[in-house]
Structure 1
Amino acid sequence: MMRMFLAAAPAVLLALSSAQAEPVAYEFDLSHTEVSASWVHQGYSRQSLQFTDFDGTLDLDLETPANSTVDITFNLISGIWAGAHHEAFVGHLNSGDFFDTAVSPTAHFVGTSFETEDGETGVMTGDLTMNGQTHPVSLEVTLNNSGETRDGRSKLGFTATGTLLRSQWDMGYAVPYVSDEIDLFISTEMAVPAPAE
């Protein structure tokens, strides 16, 4: 559903000044990236899970954001972590009540538009496909910082938040006892890849 949100990377584009004319590839620093979803369980508590296995394309054009490409695929079979003692719950998430990973083992997010007024905050919209359904998702994006890695490569950091209704993706099991609305949270650092040795 949810490096669904990493698609928010174009928010950084207008905050950086550059004469580059071609999109530049960035990669996630997975040790400093969190992609999570949370919900209310029967009114008693808020629960969450993290998506840990994802990859994709983040080609950012700092001069013309419309030329950027954000395309992220999540491996749902092995890439869901809900904490210790939650093996049965993760198994249920993989069943036909939710992600139905036997049929649809991945989720896929493709950014389609980005709007910003100040170059530091904005709204990224994209198409999220999971469980055989495709619907738009919007994320509020904030640029946290921009700079360089220790070896001089361009580095960016941002946070993105949003919500979706899981029933739109035919995952309405236990609604309304378990909330239909899912809160998305992404916080990430990314950098231009190091040159191949």
Structure 2
Amino acid sequence: MKFIKISVAVVVITLAGCVSWVFAKSPFNNMPEGEYTLDLSHASVIWKVSHLGLTNYVARFADFDASIDYKPNNIEASRVVATINPMSIQTAYPNADEKDFDQILATDEDWFNAPKFASIDFASTSIEMTGEKTALMQGDLRFLGVSKPVTLDVIFNGAMERQPFSGKPTMGFSATTTIKRSDWGMSKFVPNIGDEVKVMIEGEFAKTQ
């Protein structure tokens, strides 16, 4: 009986701790100013494109990085930069490792042409707050040697002045954008493989100590 009581007490304490974490979120303008770097263990860059109008083919990049120069007193003056390794494509293509599909897609001159263009780069140029936790972020996307403006719809998911696991000030965001790959010179198989590519981004950013 004593063991049961102790076990119940432990569960209650644990749940109380979890609840306190949930309610430990902070307003974004209370977060400290400075550089925030991406927590790669809690981030993703996923994209999808139409295949013959029948399905959306989904893939992701596994190697990428990003940072935020954060200005809490003027969030719209903050700046975001990001880079993606095009060779890090991951697909659900059957036996992808055996057929080298990922590398063919990345290295083919009609696709990502990674030997010549080793990174996909983004730098924000403006941030417009559209709500308490939403924004439109404009920026330049450099891809296949071409730089063009893109707009991302950003959702501010939450912020913690002290994230319980890392102990660091941390902010979390979701973002989406849709681009036409042909605008950057990737027109192979359009329109059978869709021109429009939807990109979905998730990320937690921790304050650099």
Q: 1:19 to 1:130 in 2, by over 3 A?
A: closer
- Which residue of the partner structure matches residue 90 of structure 2? 81
Q: Which residue of 145, 163, 168 maps to 2:178?
A: 163
Q: Is the contact made by 1:19 and 1:63 (CA closer than 8 Å) also made in structure 2?
A: no
Q: What runs of 5+ residues in structure 2 fail to find an aligned partner?
A: 1-26
- Which residue of the partner structure matches residue 125 of structure 1? 138
Normalising by structure 2, report the TM-score: 0.77
1:52 aligns with 2:62: yes
1:192 aligns with 2:207: yes
Q: Which residue of 163, 167, 186 maps to 1:149?
A: 163
Question: How far, CA to CA, are the matches of 1:57 and 1:27 in structure 2?
Answer: 4
Q: Is the contact made by 2:130 and 2:136 (CA closer than 8 Å) also made in structure 1?
A: no
**Letter paired with 1:117:** T
**Letter paired with 1:131:** L
Question: How far, CA to CA, are the matches of 1:126 and 1:29 in structure 2?
Answer: 21
Q: What runs of 5+ residues in structure 1 fail to find an aligned partner?
A: 1-14
1:67 Cα deviation from its structure 2 partner: 4.0
Structure with more helix by fraction? 2
RMSD of equivalent CA atoms = 1.9
Question: How far, CA to CA, are the matches of 1:120 and 1:104 in structure 2?
Answer: 35
Query: Which is worse superposed, 135-144 or 149-158?
Result: 149-158
- Which residue of the partner structure matches residue 35 of structure 2? 25
Normalising by structure 1, report the TM-score: 0.82
Any idea what the Cα deviations from partners look like across 1:55-98, whole Å, max 9, x if unmatched?
Answer: 24322111123542312121222x21113633443223221011
Question: How far, CA to CA, are the matches of 2:184 and 2:206 in structure 1?
Answer: 32
- Kindly report structure 1 stretches of 4+ aligned residues shifted beyond 3 Å: none
Q: Is the contact made by 1:39 and 1:181 (CA closer than 8 Å) also made in structure 2?
A: yes
Provide the aligned length of Structure 1 versus Structure 2.
Answer: 177
